[in-house]
């Protein structure tokens, strides 16, 4: 299977002058293939969010190489990186990051504003994305009128609107009750079945077990990388296992 993400010897340090203050990642090497569902799990401060930011082209590594879909990102300009993020990558965060006094439709349309599509096309594409996450009846509600689970589904619709190759989900169930968390993980499972790569960053085993592969990270280094045994699916799991 073709590799979408290839990291080799990735290190990320934060310095003050010539002095290294923190080493967030140390010699991380991994590959993520097309159509994979991967969980990255580790305690707070382990480096998992830093790793996601580098893979999602939100940050650059200090050393090492990173190829996204075969392109070496080291030599891409900031504008080229922004274009890849907009067209190939979707993000879902724990805090939703929705505009509070804006409708569901307007929130979902945001990534399309940089695509050059006309307003009518953007509305049609965004409505389909909203419908795909089961929120058709909330299309014109304001985001501050929604429950936590509904807000996360809006965030997922926004991540999907440009049909990205990969969706990075950073603690997407962290602010949700078990039933809402189950719904979000079921939706991520469904999106993976449709061909999207899913990279889930979490500290919860109950969420990580929805992936087919689990990478654990500690102190900025990969501790293990192995298939998930007894993987959760909508068919064999219910929301009580999300507690």
pLDDT (tens place) for every residue of the chain, 243 residues total: 799 999 999 999 988 777 778 899 999 999 999 999 999 999 988 999 999 999 999 999 999 999 999 999 999 999 999 999 989 999 998 888 899 889 999 999 998 987 777 788 899 999 999 999 999 999 999 999 999 999 999 999 999 999 999 999 999 998 888 999 999 999 999 999 999 999 999 999 999 999 999 999 999 999 999 999 999 999 988 877 776
Which H or E run includes 87?
helix 78-88
d(CA 221, CA 86): 29
CA distance 54 to 157: 23
Res 96: pLDDT: 87
Angle at 237 between CA 166 and CA 217, to 5 degrees: 50
- Tokens 């940050």 belong to 59
Cβ contact 30:66 at 8 Å: no
Contact 43/49 with Cβ under 8 angstroms? Answer: no
The two most distant CA atoms of the chain are separated, in Å, by 55
The predicted structure's pLDDT at residue 243: 61
pLDDT given for residue 1 in this prediction: 79
State the Cα torsion 223-224-228-233 to the nearest 10°: 40
pTM across the whole model: 0.92
- Residue 236 Cα to chain centre, angstroms: 24
User: What is the pLDDT at residue 58?
Assistant: 94
Specify the pLDDT at position 119: 80
Cβ atoms within 10 Å, residue 77: 8
C-alpha–C-alpha distance, residues 116 and 83, integer Å: 12
Instruction: Compute CA 146 distance to the chain's CA centroid, rounded to the nearest angstrom.
Output: 21
Give the three-state DSSP class for 181. helix
The per-residue pLDDT for 175 is 84
CA–CA distance, 236 with 105 (Å, rounded to integer): 33
Q: How many C-beta neighbours within 10 Å does residue 60 have?
A: 14
Query: What homologous superfamily is domain 35-49+79-242 in, according to CATH?
Result: P-loop containing nucleotide triphosphate hydrolases (3.40.50.300)
Element (H, E) at 227: strand 221-227
């Amino acid at each position: 299977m073709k590799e979408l993400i290839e990291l080799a010897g990735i290190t990320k340090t934060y310095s003050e002058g010539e002095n290294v203050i923190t080493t967030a990642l140390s010699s991380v090497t991994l590959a993520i293939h097309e159509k994979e569902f991967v969980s990255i799990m580790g305690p707070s401060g382990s480096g998992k969010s830093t790793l996601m930011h580098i893979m999602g082209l939100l940050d650059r590594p200090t050393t090492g190489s990173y190829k996204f879909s075969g392109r070496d990102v080291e030599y891409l300009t900031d504008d080229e990186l922004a274009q890849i993020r907009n067209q190939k990558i979707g993000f879902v965060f724990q805090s939703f990051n929705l505009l509070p006094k804006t409708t569901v439709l307007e929130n979902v349309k945001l990534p399309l504003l940089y695509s050059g599509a006309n307003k009518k096309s953007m509305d049609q594409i965004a409505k389909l994305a909203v419908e795909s996450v089961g929120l058709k009846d909330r299309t014109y509600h304001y985001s501050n009128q929604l429950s936590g689970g509904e807000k996360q589904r809006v965030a997922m619709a926004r991540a999907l609107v440009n049909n990205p190759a990969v969706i990075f989900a950073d603690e997407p169930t962290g602010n949700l009750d078990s039933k809402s968390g189950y719904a979000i993980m079921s939706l991520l499972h469904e999106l993976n079945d449709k061909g999207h790569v899913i990279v889930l960053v979490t500290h919860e085993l109950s969420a990580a077990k929805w992936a087919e592969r689990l990478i654990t990270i500690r102190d900025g280094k990969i501790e293990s990388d192995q298939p998930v045994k007894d993987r959760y699916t909508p068919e064999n799991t219910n929301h009580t296992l999300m507690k």
